[in-house]
Amino acid sequence: MFQDIDPQRIVYAPDRDAPREDDYVLFTRDSRVLLQIEDGSLVLPTFGEMRPALQDKTDGLVYLFSLDDRAFFLSLDQTDEARDYRYRNIYSVRSVRPAGLAFACATAFHVGRWYGHNRYCGQCSGVLERRRGERAVQCPQCGVVEYPAVAPVVIVGVRDGEDILLTKYAGRDYKNYALIAGFVEPGETLEGAIAREVMEEVGLEVANVRYYKSQPWAFSQSILMGFFADLQGARTVALDSDELSEAVWVARSELPAEESRMSLTWDMIAAFRKREI
């Protein structure tokens, strides 16, 4: 899947000093990131390349993490497109190479967006300051401490023997098949979220919930948790047309052409197709 970048790994080293010439600098604008994609290869701007735009200043850079021995920094200041770098939607990194750099870029976007949304205290409106030694911000006036938010999401493959329920979203750009999914509500267990989402979206009951695997999904600042569950009771679908445009039972032998197993959804569909679960 997208996060499978072994033997590379992302490490947070809070004592990392000023950026080196070959360290990466992330510039964001709304949901877009300044980068270059050429022939399926990803290139990110380095501190050395962006010195003129930054005017040699590093006080506007925030250390995010390191990939092997190269650090990622976020620029709190925007810059114009330059050379071959363009602001692109963050989703564009999903299928480019090298895989480690693509995953790190998405993760940097997640953390960087959190920093961008947490400049001021929600309790007293004070200017938040970065805490030393950990990834957090604190208000010097009232003492509130904020840590990066990760939203929990459940994905469930509802099974009925040799069939699995596939869905399509309503009103979204993504038009391919998916599985039932949704955010976990405050005070709700994962099992409770599964039962609620399945009932709300397709009017079905499930039982025998089994955990499959998880995936960090930076694009929605989420951690996705995949489960399989068995249909309990009638299999007649009552579609929530506000959420879904389609929900169909598909036999294992008739599943649509497999997408990349980069996403947890399609990893689960492929696992069902190949009888891996």
Could you tell me if 205 and 242 are in contact, meaning their C-beta atoms sit under 8 angstroms apart? no
pTM of the model: 0.91
Is omega for the bond preceding 98 within 30 degrees of 0, making it cis? Answer: yes
Instruction: List the chain pLDDT tens, one digit each, 277 residues.
Output: 999 999 999 999 988 878 999 999 999 998 899 999 988 899 999 999 998 888 878 888 999 999 988 999 999 888 989 878 999 999 999 889 999 999 999 999 999 999 989 999 999 999 999 998 899 999 999 999 999 999 999 999 999 999 999 999 998 878 889 999 999 999 999 999 999 999 999 999 999 999 999 999 999 999 999 999 999 999 999 999 999 999 999 999 999 877 678 999 999 999 999 999 8
Which helix (H) or strand (E) element contains residue 214?
Answer: strand 205-217
Could you tell me whether strands 137-138 and 129-130 are parallel, antiparallel, or unpaired per DSSP bridges? antiparallel
Total Cβ atoms within 10 A of residue 32: 16
Distance CA 277, CA 274 (A): 8
Determine contact, residues 233/148, Cβ cutoff 8 Å.
no
From CA 11, how far away is CA 65, in angstroms rounded? 6
pLDDT score of 15: 84
Q: Where does residue 140 rank: exposed (0-12), middle (13-18), buried (19+ CB within 10 A)?
A: exposed
The answer to whether 132 and 145 have CB atoms below 8 angstroms apart is no
